[in-house]
Amino acid sequence: MPTIYKREQYDEFAKEMHEAFPLIFSGRYGGFAIGPGWWHIVKSLCSNTQRYIDQRKKTREVLLKDNPLNLNMPEEVPQVVVEQIKEKLGGLRFYYRGGDSYIAGMVSLAESWVLHTCEECGQPGEIRGGFNGGGWPRTLCDIHEAEYQARRNNDV
């Protein structure tokens, strides 16, 4: 069953993300194939990612100016550019270019966070369904799981 939300909500979220993080969304990535319950997680990930990249860049600029021998110079962090953001098997998939191991850790944390967050509403949830439990795996709270099962039973 697809995520149910109004198209205007999605358009508003996508616009907000593009305006807030133009460098992260400068590539062709195809939109946000996740439910609104995870939007705050992706927004937080993008915010922390860009803040980290910008801070490392500023630190390097200061050190280059004040440190002609380039001692203890932090590595430059390539700009993160999103390639795809989607839900798959109840989890978040955040595919990107650039970054470093610190950003990879932030992405891993976000991908773990969603496994306990309802994709529909953002409240605590868990992975439901799956091949043995019927349908595709999805991460939902009790309320949205009940709604999903009711729609599923009506379709049978």
Calpha distance 94→91 (Å, rounded)? 10
Calpha distance 49→47 (Å, rounded)? 5
Of the pLDDT bands very low, low, confident and very high (cuts 50, 70, 90), residue 1 is very low
Note if the pTM is more than 0.75. yes
88: β partners: 91
25 assigned to some structural domain? yes
83 assigned to some structural domain? yes
How many domains, the chain? Answer: 1
What is the share, in percent, of the chain residues with pLDDT greater than 70?
Answer: 90
Calpha distance 93→98 (Å, rounded)? 16
Strand ranges (DSSP E) for 73-123?
Answer: 81-88, 91-97
CB-based burial label for 114 (10 Å; 0-12, 13-18, 19+): buried
Instruction: Look at residue 2 in the predicted model and tell me its pLDDT.
Output: 44
61 assigned to some structural domain? yes
Find the domain containing 28 and state its range.
Answer: 7-114
Q: Cα 3 to the chain's mean position, in Å?
A: 16
55 assigned to some structural domain? yes
Instruction: Look at residue 135 in the predicted model and tell me its pLDDT.
Output: 72
Return the closest-CA partner of residue 117 out of 89, 148, 92, 146: 92
Instruction: Look at residue 142 in the predicted model and tell me its pLDDT.
Output: 95
Instruction: Look at residue 140 in the predicted model and tell me its pLDDT.
Output: 95
